Amino acid sequence: MEPNRLTIHELQERLRDGSLTSAEVTESVYRRIASLEERVHAYITLTEEAATQQACAADKLIRAGTGGPLTGIPIAIKDVLCTQGVRTTCGSRILEDFVPPYDATVVRKLKDAGAVFVGKTNMDEFAMGSSTETSRFGITKNPWDLERIPGGSSGGSAAAVAADECMASLGTDTGGSIRQPAALCGVVGLKPTYGRVSRFGMVAFASSLDQIGPITKDVEDCAIMMNAISGHDTSDATSVPTKVPDYRACLSRDIEGWTVGIPKEYFVEGVDPEIRASIDTAIKTLEGLGARCLDVSLPHTEYCIATYYIIAPSEASSNLARFDGVRYGFRAPDGESLLDMYKKTRSSGFGAEVKRRIMIGTYSLSSGYYDAYYKKASQVRALIRDDFDRAFTKCDVVLTPTTPTPAFRIGEKMDDPLQMYLYDIFTLSTNLAGVPGISVPCGYTKGGLPIGVQFMAGQFQEEKLLQVPSAYEKNSALEKRKPDL
């Protein structure tokens, strides 16, 4: 078997016993990329020369017995995270030549853990999208069907893992942008609790919603990645100084006697029948492991879409004001005045979806409309958070579908923004409530497309959140498949 097809924990054993070297693994990954990238397009920037040097350095550490938990493991980074000396584009023309002078905290932590960096993955522009179709640098394809979207906004990160073009990747999740592409690409994706992982060095979309998290081949790899990136960071004012457990250590525990909440609001008309059948099978698997599944209610779920699409664009409107063509990034060359330069820079530097959200957000924050829109949305957000608090007094985790349908065809929803926004209906709530969520593969459609099941837990309960899908993954009868590329 080619080394690029292995998981992190499988590679750790082989690197330690000397049956593989990091140089061999890294070479295998780049061979895979060379054979697939023209079709999949998971990456914006590749860093092969630097990765080769990192792999050779990692092999020396491994031989000396001084390597870290991720030493020699090839990992990809979503192109919204700052990487010193390597361009960070956010999938946008306005930053297409921006090279940060520093690393994001999560990037530094992965370096400290010994990771080898493969490159920067493709994404929806400024993480605004659900399909990775809004990138300045082209569309990423779903490895399971190259005519379908991989999900978004972390579509490149999910596609790279699914296609074995890296061992794991980092994505960001503002309204489902880790979990949704993970589900559509048949891999594992976790959005941590808001404040669990430092956001320092991430180019902000919506500051009260954004979180960085891992996309991996299985749950154990997800725990390994969470161990590496979690923890308090004084550079991030929203980072919470709370103890980080050993997530990997919790995976061997059973879930007998645990309670799994099934919210009726997530099992509504419009959910694809094949997805519903796979979710029902997952529920039966958990019951077979001794878990008790019970009905719970999240009554304000129907307001999540409207609430999110006021709060997120409002914060985006504020955050993206820094891209003015003056300090860094793209500048339109023919501005006749300062105001004209602003207009031309932003008009040609931002794509259509980004401009749409900036306009929605600016309107929501404008004088005379703030109370009616942003303030009201913030109040409803508090009610959504209260729904989850009440639900978690009755159950350990909540289980829902990750997406209402399997991956749709490229271009299918691009002319209908409302339908695109509705596609995130099952993932937005965790960001609004600030709770962690994970998507795990739970089946395939008759056409061979992956299906994901989502688990959610209380704030800073990632240990519990990982335990349930780990038990499910180990005991489900789900066939382990790879996309036929």
- Predicted local confidence at residue 367, as pLDDT: 83
Residues in the chain: 485
Give the whole-angstrom CA distance, residue 146 versus residue 31. Answer: 20
pLDDT at 37: 98
Q: What is the DSSP letter of 86?
A: B
Q: Give the DSSP H/E element, type plus range, for residue 277.
A: helix 273-288
List the beta bridge partners of residue 444: 450
Which single residue is written with the structure tokens 């250590």?
249
The whole-number pLDDT of residue 356 equals: 96
- Residue 273 CB: number of other CB atoms within 10 A? 8
Q: In this structure, which CATH number among 3.90.1300.10, 3.40.800.10, 1.10.3720.10, 3.40.50.10860 belongs to the domain 3-251?
A: 3.90.1300.10
Ranges for all domains in the chain classified under CATH 3.90.1300.10: 3-251
Active site residue 130: no
- Residue 242 burial by CB count (10 A; 0-12/13-18/19+): exposed, middle or buried? middle
Cis link prior to 28 (omega < 30° from 0)? Answer: no
pLDDT tens digits, residue range 37-89? 999 999 999 999 999 999 999 999 999 999 888 999 999 999 999 999 999 99
**Which two three-digit tokens encode residue 68?**
């870290």
DSSP string for residues in 201-220: TBPPSSTTT-EEEEEESSHH
Residue among 78, 141, 191, 464 flagged as catalytic: 78
Handedness of CA 41, 47, 53, 57 (dihedral sign): negative
Spacing of C-alpha 374 from chain mean position? 26
CA 58 to chain centroid, in Å, comes to 27
**What is the C-alpha to C-alpha distance for residues 25 and 74, in angstroms, rounded to an integer?**
8
Catalytic annotation present for 22: no
Which pLDDT score is estimated for 223?
A: 98
Of the residues 28, 131, 153, 317, which is catalytic? 153
Of 28, 169, 177, 429, the active-site residue reads: 177
Per-residue model confidence (pLDDT) at position 442: 97
C-alpha to C-alpha distance for 184 and 193, rounded to whole angstroms: 22
Where does residue 380 fall: left (phi above 0), alpha (psi -120 to 50 degrees), or beta otherwise?
Answer: alpha
100's tokens: 């940060």
Alpha-carbon gap, residue 165 to 162, rounded angstroms: 8
pLDDT of residue 261: 98
Q: Could you say which residues of the chain have pLDDT below 70?
A: none
Residue 194: partners with Cβ closer than 8 Å, 6 or more residues away? 208, 209, 211, 238, 431, 434, 459
End-to-end CA distance of the chain: 15
Q: Which of 224, 122, 266 is nearest to 181 (CA)?
A: 122
Q: Which residues of 460-478 are buried (b: 16+ CB within 10 A; e: fewer)?
A: bbbbbbbbbbbbbbeebeb
154 assigned to active site: no
Of 266, 260, 259, give the one whose Cα is nearest residue 299.
266
pLDDT attached to residue 154:
98
CA 339, 344, 345, 346 torsion-angle sign: positive
> What pLDDT does residue 305 have?
96
